[in-house]
Structure formats: C-alpha cells, structure tokens
Amino acid sequence: MNLKILILPGDGIGVEVTSAAVEVLHAVARKFGHTLELSEGLIGGMAIHKTGTPLPKDTLDKALAADATLMGAVGLPEFDNAAPDKRPEKGLLGLRAAMGVFANLRPVLTYPELIESSPLKNHVIQGNRHDHRARAHCRPVLRSTAWH
C-alpha cells in the first residue's frame, strides 16, 4: 500500500512527538511492506511566525491531497492574548472545517476501577479494552497528542 501522509509537527512538544510518530510509521511500513510518501507543512504558531497565518494555503492544499494527516500539538504561550484569527488553534479549526471533520479519534485504555468516573455510559465501555471516544466517517486525521 502506498500512503501519502502530511506531517504537521505544530508547536512546542508537537515537534518532538510527531518526530517519534514518524519513526513508528516507518517501522510499520517496513514490517508490512507499505510505501510512505511523507510531506511536511506548517500549522499553528510556527506557521504564524513564518507566513503570518496559522493555516497557510500550501498546508491546506497538501492536507486535502493527502491520504492522512499526522498533526502535533499547536499553541505557544506568546499567542495567549492574540486576536482570535491570529491564534495557533485557528489553524486546527480551519483544517477541520476544510476537511469536513469534527472529531479526533483517540483510543484510550479503560480501567475497570474507573468506569464509574467516565462520562460515557457504562454499557459502551464495559468489556471494551479500547474505547474510541468519537467515531467519524471522514478523511483520517491523525493527531500525535491527546490534549487539544
């Protein structure tokens, strides 16, 4: 299988996490005989620094042409008081809107001791080792972080 994947490292820890995720992608591709065509784009604070916008047109074009997008965290403290259209998160929201996605898929491990603490209905997660908190029929958007 040949996969075109756009890598959006994002900001801060996102760069480190996406780098490690790319190593995993390469290992999986080698093991299963896949071919990866990776490209990189700017989003978030780094995009603002380099282009003046949190979601450059070039990044959006690459995302729409890719089979999947692996995205790191966006956001830097220096933008905390920036105007809404100049915040790193605006890039993420713009990407979601353009791709028609509304949720990130985040598998989580469910511990029996904590089932009662979950906002999900118990019957949804009981007996499910992995709970995929959101399901969306859309282009895959893979994120490397869990807290955005």
Tens of pLDDT, residue by residue over 93-129, are 999 999 988 766 666 666 777 767 767 666 665 555 4
Q: What is the pLDDT of residue 144?
A: 39
Mean residue pLDDT across the chain = 82
Neighbours of 73 (CB within 10 A): 25
Question: Could you write out the three-class secondary structure of the chain?
Answer: CEEEEEEECCCCHHHHHHHHHHHHHHHHHHHHCCEEEEEECCCCHHHHHHHCCCCCHHHHHHHHHCCEEEECCCCCHHHCCCCHHHCCHHHHHHHHHHHCCCCCCCEEECCHHHHHHCCCCHHHHCCCCEEECCCCCCCCEEECCCCC
- Enter the pTM of the model: 0.72
Predicted local distance difference test score (pLDDT) of residue 133: 40
pLDDT of residue 102: 73
pLDDT at 140 (0 to 100):
42
